[in-house]
Structure 1
Amino acid sequence: MKPSGSLLKIISEDLMPVTEIDIRALAEIYAEKDIYFSVYLPVSGREHEHLNRIFVDSRVKAIKKALSSELRSEFEKTFDMAEPSIFEAPVSGEKGRIIFACSSESFLHVYRLAVETEQSLVLDTSPFLLPLARLRADYDDYGVLLVDSQEAKFTCVRSDLAEEKKHLSIDLMNKHKKGGWSQMRFNHLRKGAIKSFLSEVADNVKGTCDQLQTRGLVIAGPGEAKQQLMDLLSQDVRQSVLGVIDVAMDISRDELVEESDSVLHENELSTSKKKADELKNAILKGGLAVHGVEDVRDVLEQGRVNVLLVLKGSSVPGWICERCQNLQVNVQPPKECDRCGGPTSVIDVVEELYELAQRTGAEVEFVEKEDFLDSDDVVGALLRY
């Protein structure tokens, strides 16, 4: 399918969270020929500039050599369109860059990221999305609430980009005049003020979380206020808490993101393990699950997959017909599709299964090798029916 008009040109001048990239719309794009050019590059540091040029020059030469004269001419036009964006100097804080381009469709996307990407350069019948999918899995949006008994700051972290969304504070009457309230009455009033303040924080957190639609919430800060706040949160917000960490209120933003990222990472590993265990149990008991590339391909094509589980770093060779989307695994591509006679292309089957999951609205979870999937069965699926 050709890209729609709104998708033809997207060029980010500033840093963009990976969750803002419309990966589902990109997964809908494909052609019958290898005309879509995809580049992933790390761009922070002067050493990357030199290494990227060597890498890009080498891959471009290899691709040109493998193409027919017609497709070579098309590729050269596409590369000329993308080249300025490939080697443009990074903006402040930029660590990675993704570029998708196709000259014949006047299609150019340039994304500047605050997270580093691995080098990859691919020419295919569609934008190459698997590296982006892995980044999306590693960098979910989440909220951080830094709180003590006097102050609360809500920060949204998106692909390591932190933006403060809410800041509340109160005066707790830490000083009072001699001959004024008794110490007991003062302490009672102070506790009441703290509870009132934390109740206000709890109400604000719920509204902010609902608005931002984050994966979850990390609660951070010194002392006992964190637990007092937890007791005041609504049940749905409490269930979204990823973890609680002890840090000082004057912690730097970078340190806060680093500490919170570790909580998110542990939560993601736990979630992946639970999904893998669910897959294993369903298969052992004959439930709604399949594993193995060909069986997963079939249920994805039928739109039956609720969750696609993919072994991290996996790759499976195969081919696809770009006319009818006939997908075959671990075999050499014929000159023509045996279904419709259309042109065939060599592909990474895992990439195609991921794109099919996006098109059919399936959730995707990347899992570690020890979590049931292995090099023989790199994908599994929990089914809707």
Structure 2
Amino acid sequence: MEACDETIKELSSIYDEESMDTFVSLYFDGKDNKFIYRREEAVMAILKGEELENFLKTMEEIKRFLGKKFAGNVAIFASHKHGYLKVVDIPVKTKNALIVDSSPYIRPLAELTDTWESFTLVLLNTNHARIFSVSCSRIAEKKRLSAYIMNKHKKGGWSQARFQRLRKGSIHAFFVEVMEELEKYASENIIIAGPGQAKHEFKSILPKRLQEKVVDIIDVDIEDEHGLFKESMAVMAEKEMEEKRDTMQYLKKEILRDGLGVCGVDEVVEASRNGQIELLLIEKGYKLRGWICENCQAVGKGTAKDCPYCHGKTSEVDVIEEIIEFAERTDAKVEFISSDEIKNLGHVVALLRYK
């Protein structure tokens, strides 16, 4: 599976230049096949001509994929007209949805990406270590290391003190080897886990740039992978919530002093179209009916038969989805939050790169 952020950026840049409804976005749990049939019937009753023909051929391609070995919980973005088919495995139960539009519907995927922040996990004791990469809650083992470390001192040989020095030296050499491998895979967040003092000793030898990335140290048995993954996910979820609360407080201060913070749909739409947004914060689950001009790409709330700026033809859209797509195309960070604060600020808030 590709990194979630890269996938979303790719999807946000794709659209039908004629503004025809030629992209099918399917979020499917793999269980309710009747759901797909019901949505197909509804869509076929509305589409006509080239759009209908494209939809039928696109659904054939999607069904061919689903007919293969398929475990469920997947997002499929496809268009026969554009020769496009993108499959994204989803690591948690997804809400079924089938959307036909002029571009892929990325909001559920964006919300998932925001929920599961990537991190690197190191599980070790004095002679065994495993390095995992966790992205979109998918866990991939990157490296497994081990070393022979003598645990008992045999009588009649080395002195106890010499034995301990040699043992410490062997452990340190092993930790250095693990550190060198960690540098190859380390993300912006690192969790170190394992039994006893080994994990604390390992952190102490890390260079400052890696120590600053350590989010938490977890005490866990070296064999308890399930417990480790569950606890590490909880640690990252709490970290994410704290960061969002801090971000909200910072944005409120920026808005109060008329700085780089903006709030409300109208201001955020304008900023997203201009590529000004550095960070976009959206109320989770909030949608807003609106329109987009097929000619100049202007976006507005409510309904409009013609664009008020260039008098071009308009299409009905979810304004929030359009804001997300504009933001993703310009490398803005997109986050979702549930709070009364963001609701009171107009459901969307943004930190600008410039004014």
TM-score where L is the length of structure 2:
0.91
Matches within 5 A, 1:96-135: 96-135=73-112
CA distance in 2, matches of 1:172, 1:74: 64
State whether structure 2 residue 210 is matched by structure 1 residue 237. Answer: yes
Q: Given that residues 312 and 366 in structure 1 are in contact (C-alpha distance below 8 angstroms), is that contact kept between their aligned partners in structure 2?
A: yes
CA distance in 1, matches of 2:5, 2:298: 31
**Shift in Å, 1:275:** 1.6
CA distance in 2, matches of 1:161, 1:295: 36
- Structure 1: gaps (5+ residues): 1-15
Closer, same or farther: CA 58–365 of 1 in aligned 2, 3 Å: same
State whether structure 2 residue 323 is matched by structure 1 residue 364. Answer: no
Task: Look up the match of 2:20.
Answer: 33
CA distance in 2, matches of 1:236, 1:121: 44
Closer, same or farther: CA 337–261 of 1 in aligned 2, 3 Å: same
State whether structure 2 residue 303 is matched by structure 1 residue 306. Answer: no
Q: Deviations over 1:219-277 (max 9, x none)?
A: 1101111111222111121121121111111123x443222211221121122222212
Q: What is the identity, as a one-letter code, of the residue corresponding to 2:10?
A: A
State whether structure 2 residue 309 is matched by structure 1 residue 333. Answer: no
State whether structure 2 residue 78 is matched by structure 1 residue 78. Answer: no
Matches within 5 A, 1:160-175: 160-175=137-152
- Structure 2: gaps (5+ residues): none
Q: In percent, how many aligned pairs have the same letter?
A: 35
**Shift in Å, 1:70:** 5.0
Q: Deviations over 1:309-329 (max 9, x none)?
A: 111222111111122111001
Q: Deviations over 1:285-320 (max 9, x none)?
A: 222110101101111122211111111222111111
CA distance in 2, matches of 1:17, 1:74: 27
Task: Look up the match of 2:38.
Answer: 58
Q: Equivalent residue of 1:22, what SS?
A: helix
Task: Look up the match of 2:222.
Answer: 249
Matches within 5 A, 1:6-21: 16=1, 19=4
**Shift in Å, 1:146:** 0.5
Task: Look up the match of 2:165.
Answer: 188
**Shift in Å, 1:68:** 4.1
Closer, same or farther: CA 191–78 of 1 in aligned 2, 3 Å: closer
Task: Look up the match of 2:347.
Answer: 378
Query: Superposition RMSD on alpha carbons, in Å?
Result: 2.2
**Shift in Å, 1:88:** 4.2
Q: Which one of 296, 300, 305 corresponds to residue 324 of structure 1?
A: 296
**Shift in Å, 1:87:** 4.9
Q: Equivalent residue of 1:67, what SS?
A: coil
TM-score where L is the length of structure 1:
0.84
**Shift in Å, 1:375:** 6.4
Q: Given that residues 18 and 113 in structure 1 are in contact (C-alpha distance below 8 angstroms), is that contact kept between their aligned partners in structure 2?
A: no
Q: What is the identity, as a one-letter code, of the residue corresponding to 2:285?
A: G
State whether structure 2 residue 173 is matched by structure 1 residue 200. Answer: no
CA distance in 2, matches of 1:369, 1:83: 39
CA distance in 2, matches of 1:20, 1:346: 27
CA distance in 2, matches of 1:381, 1:188: 56
Q: What is the identity, as a one-letter code, of the residue corresponding to 1:36?
A: F
Q: Deviations over 1:322-347 (max 9, x none)?
A: 22111001x1231x323334332111
CA distance in 2, matches of 1:39, 1:306: 29
Task: Look up the match of 1:42.
Answer: 29
Q: What is the identity, as a one-letter code, of the residue corresponding to 1:246?
A: D
CA distance in 1, matches of 2:22, 2:58: 8
